[in-house]
């Protein structure tokens, strides 16, 4: 499973990219609004940092509007992946984008049939939202396993991005259950690094070394 970061904060992207683990970025309108910056400007900076797909979401309700909105975004770089909502108009747009060779990420996927339809329309990626399913007492991790199984049985090469990740356990479950990618908020990325025994171990090695080398 690869790691994407789910953010529009360029400093967070730069930090995780330096760890050498970053394969792509997802943004959404809420994250871009939170950044308070111009969307195209942010995308331009991100593609210069990361070597991989960068999802940029369109907001139109109809396929024509989505295609028009995507034009200036894909002009920034061929890394730009158009993020499209899981609706009938979204599927139409995904189909048209795939004919033009433009990568797509179908977002707001909450069941296996939505994922299958998105894949058949030509989506490069589908994004099932784990956290938002868990919020309504449905098993988000189980949905990843179900989609992975269906894609495997039917030889579908659309990649599954585990999205709406809230904590490290979601990451482990996504990897175990067959997600190709997990897109993580920076705070979750940081939590993945830490284990108390790692901290204790570093401290003990340093103390033992200092003791032995005193005087």
**In the complex, which residues of this chain contact ligand E4P (CB under 6 A)?**
6, 26, 28, 107, 127, 129, 131-132, 163-164, 183
Give the number of C-alpha atoms closer than 13 A to the C-alpha of residue 123, restricted to the C-beta side: 28
Task: Return the number of the residue (135 or 208) whose C-beta is nearest ligand E4P.
Answer: 135
Task: Return the number of the residue (135 or 176) whose C-beta is nearest ligand E4P.
Answer: 135
CB 8, min distance to ligand E4P, A? 10
CB 100, min distance to ligand E4P, A? 22
Rounded CA-CA distance 106/122 in Å is: 10
User: Catalytic annotation on 92?
Assistant: no
Catalytic residue from among 2, 34, 83, 100: 83
CB 124, min distance to ligand E4P, A? 13
CA 135 to mean position of chain CA atoms? 19
Task: Return the number of the residue (99 or 134) whose C-beta is nearest ligand E4P.
Answer: 134
CB 163, min distance to ligand E4P, A? 3
Task: Return the number of the residue (17 or 183) whose C-beta is nearest ligand E4P.
Answer: 183
Give the number of C-alpha atoms closer than 13 A to the C-alpha of residue 168, restricted to the C-beta side: 7
Q: Give me the active site residues, please.
A: 83
């Amino acid at each position: 499973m690869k790691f994407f970061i789910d953010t529009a904060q360029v400093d967070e992207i730069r930090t995780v990219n330096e760890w050498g683990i970053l394969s792509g970025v997802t943004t959404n309108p809420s994250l871009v609004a939170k950044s308070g910056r111009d969307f195209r400007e942010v995308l331009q900076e991100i593609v210069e940092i990361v070597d991989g797909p960068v999802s940029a979401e369109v907001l139109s309700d109809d396929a024509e509007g989505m295609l028009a909105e995507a034009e200036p975004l894909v002009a920034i770089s061929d890394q730009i992946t158009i993020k499209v909502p899981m609706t009938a108009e979204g599927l139409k747009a995904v189909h048209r984008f795939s004919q033009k060779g433009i990568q797509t990420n179908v977002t707001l996927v909450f069941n296996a049939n939505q994922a299958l339809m998105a894949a058949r329309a030509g989506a490069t990626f589908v994004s099932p939202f784990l956290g938002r399913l868990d919020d309504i007492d449905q098993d988000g991790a189980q949905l990843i396993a179900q989609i992975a199984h269906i894609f495997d049985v039917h030889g579908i090469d659309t990649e599954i991005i585990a999205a709406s990740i809230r904590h490290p356990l979601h990451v482990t479950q996504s990897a175990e259950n067959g997600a190709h990618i997990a897109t993580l908020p920076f705070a979750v990325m940081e939590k993945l690094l830490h284990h108390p025994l790692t901290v204790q171990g570093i401290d003990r090695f340093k103390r033992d070394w200092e003791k032995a080398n005193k005087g």
